[in-house]
Structure 1
Amino acid sequence: MSLASTPKDLERKGFAGRFGFGQKSALVVVDFTNAFTDPGHRLGSDSAVEIAATNELIAIFRAKGLPVLFTAIEYESDVAAASSHWRTKIDAISDLYRGSSGTIQDARLDREEGDPIVNKEFASAFFRTTLEALLLERSVDTVVVAGCSTSGCVRATAVDACQLGFRVIVCRDAVADRNRNAHDQALVDIDLKYGDVLGRNEIAERLHTN
């Protein structure tokens, strides 16, 4: 059996090219809702550090007049949530229905009234949602992703953004996961194949030059 390639091996083979920033960026904050940011919830983990980093990004984007959008997993009713195909894998999905506290954006986020919230029923923020249309309406070609979970909804969103032709940037300081090993591996995987993984200071510097 051959040994698995390391990230450096794959870079030598042509992986980990750079998207860089295009003409206009938007920040998409994925699922920093109460169910995912409350360590006491079945879906949750402590995301305080990552929420603080996300707020720094939000401030940077607002100062430049760039769009900030949020997402939430939310089914139209408790019956719809309970009958979701995804619940077969994650029982706590049944908690995420319209009117439940778990679907509300974490109060620590610096969200403003006019910031869109894109509701979704699965991992990717693009799957059967209005997100692509909202970004294209705003002439966005670069999607900067924050939120959770890194190995789940963040990764799925990055993959779909890439597939739809957006430049993809994931902020390593502003994404969280309940599983540290999965978090670390997801960032490696995204950086090799689907987007550029950068720190918030790097993102701020790159936005400044555009």
Structure 2
Amino acid sequence: MDRMIAELRQSYPCGEARPLGLGRRPAVIVVDFIEGFTNPESPLGGSWDREIEHTASLLAGAREAGVPVVYTTVELRSADLERNLLYLKTPRIGALLEGSRWTGVDHRLPPRDDDVIVSKQHGSAFFGTALASQLQVMGVDTVLLAGCVTSGCVRASAVDAAQAGFRPGVVREAVGDRSPLANETNLIDIEQRYGDVLSLEQALAYLSTIDR
């Protein structure tokens, strides 16, 4: 895998990624760390214990800084399933119907009353939701991303964030994928094309500089 990663880095014509930089009005977006993906009893469950622990640290830093927190959940409507291409491609996500126990935020990352919870039916946190408008109303210019999976909903959210004018920062230790190779290659590509990839330490240091 190390050889493949090195070859991938060399394939970008611009060489080292140019830092985009972060703004002064961030929000933290926790993408799809819901029971349906994190609970081993779920048909979609994966092992994200370490990433969830790091996300909890990120959220603690955000709350200390008075930074808005957004959670996304996937909630499919049964009436729409036959028109939802994501469902037609991967019918297993039919477990995430509205009202299911699997659509709730992971119990280790409990939302507060003033947090924003975005219900979505597709990959990106922005597609088909009011998230961009909500962030604009809050004056947000930067999003720090945690969640799963890096090659799917996290990447889609980073791309759409950049396209909507929000500076994306993906927190490396707080995101994960079912494949380590997919995780690393997508982090590299996000950093080359759309935003910055930060360590948790860097993200927490950045949050500590934000004025309430």
TM normalised by structure 2 equals 0.90
Confirm whether residue 60 of structure 1 aligns to residue 72 of structure 2. Answer: no
Tell me the SS of whatever aligns to 2:63.
helix
Whole-angstrom CA distance in 1 between matches of 2:195 and 2:42: 30
Tell me the SS of whatever aligns to 2:18.
coil
2:126 maps to amino acid:
F
Counterpart of 2:29 in structure 1 is 28
Q: Identity of paired residues, percent? A: 41
Gaps of 5+ in 1: none
1:67 maps to amino acid:
P
Whole-angstrom CA distance in 2 between matches of 1:66 and 1:47: 24
More deviation, 33-42/126-135? 33-42
Confirm whether residue 114 of structure 1 aligns to residue 110 of structure 2. Answer: no
Displacement of 1:82 in angstroms is 5.8
8 Å contact from structure 1 (residues 22, 142) kept in 2: yes
Counterpart of 1:201 in structure 2 is 201
Tell me the SS of whatever aligns to 1:99.
coil
CA shift digits 1:149-196 (9 cap, x unpaired): 111000000000011111110001001212222111111111111111
8 Å contact from structure 2 (residues 72, 120) kept in 1: yes
Counterpart of 2:174 in structure 1 is 174
Whole-angstrom CA distance in 1 between matches of 2:53 and 2:96: 24
Displacement of 1:8 in angstroms is 4.3
8 Å contact from structure 1 (residues 27, 143) kept in 2: yes
Which portions of structure 1, spanning 4 or more consecutive aligned residues, are displaced by more than 6 angstroms? none
Counterpart of 1:7 in structure 2 is 9
Whole-angstrom CA distance in 1 between matches of 2:182 and 2:191: 14
Whole-angstrom CA distance in 1 between matches of 2:27 and 2:64: 13
Give the direction of change, closer, same or farther, for the CA distance of 1:9–1:63 in structure 2 (3 Å limit): same
1:85 maps to amino acid:
L
Whole-angstrom CA distance in 1 between matches of 2:39 and 2:110: 17
Tell me the SS of whatever aligns to 1:209.
coil
CA shift digits 1:105-145 (9 cap, x unpaired): 11011421221110111000000101101111110000100
Gaps of 5+ in 2: 1-5
Tell me the SS of whatever aligns to 1:170.
strand
Whole-angstrom CA distance in 2 between matches of 1:9 and 1:152: 22
8 Å contact from structure 1 (residues 81, 96) kept in 2: no
Counterpart of 1:48 in structure 2 is 49
What number of residue pairs does the alignment pair up?
A: 205
Displacement of 1:206 in angstroms is 2.1
CA RMSD of aligned residues (A): 1.8
